[in-house]
Amino acid sequence: QSALTQPRSVSGSPGQSVTISCTGTSSDVGGYNYVSWYQQHPGKAPKLMIYDVSKRPSGVPDRFSGSKSGNTASLTISGLQAEDEADYYCCSYAGSYTSVFGGGTKLTVL
């Protein structure tokens, strides 16, 4: 149950695109299409942004998209907006009915 690896921080200017990576192993990210992404603003609960690698819950802007290649999943945010500044966490099913999170990435909108 080792945490998935995410960059500690990423940044971008309004209107630009940023991509956050989430690297695991064949026992979690690479083995299942159950990868999700969460947005967390300071002092708030996490909010689901992407599930099943690339599906968006109702109400999440289509500026947010997810993908996966091998053991690495990615979250891309296009047309960056000031309100996108937050911490982002990936999560993957890890087999045996357990789940594992990434260490989190702080997104700064310049």
Partner 1 sequence: QVQLVESGGGVVQPGRSLRLSCAASGFTFSSYGMHWVRQAPGKGLEWVAVIWSDGNNKYYADSVKGRFTISRDNSKNALYLQMNSLRAEDTAVYYCTRDLSFIPDYWGQGTLVTVSS
Task: Kindly state whether residue 93 participates in binding partner 1, applying the rule CB under 8 A.
Answer: yes
Where in 39-58 is the site for partner 1 (CB under 8 A)?
Answer: 45-48, 51-52, 57
| Cβ atoms < 10 Å from Cβ of 47 | 14
Binding of partner 1 by 17 (CB under 8 A)? no
Instruction: Classify burial at 19, counting beta carbons within 10 Å of its beta carbon; exposed 0-12, middle 13-18, buried 19 or more.
Output: middle
Which single residue is written with the structure tokens 């200017």? 13
**Minimum Å distance from CB 13 to partner 1?**
26
Instruction: Kindly state whether residue 96 participates in binding partner 1, applying the rule CB under 8 A.
Output: yes
Check binding of 64 to partner 1 (CB under 8 A): no
Which of the ranges 14-22, 30-38, 67-75, 76-84 carries the binding residues for partner 1, by CB under 8 A?
30-38
36 makes contact with partner 1 (CB under 8 A): yes
Contact 79, 17 (CB under 8 A): yes
State how far the Cα of 28 lies from the Cα of 35, in Å rounded to an integer.
9
Is 63 among the residues that bind partner 1 (CB under 8 A)? no
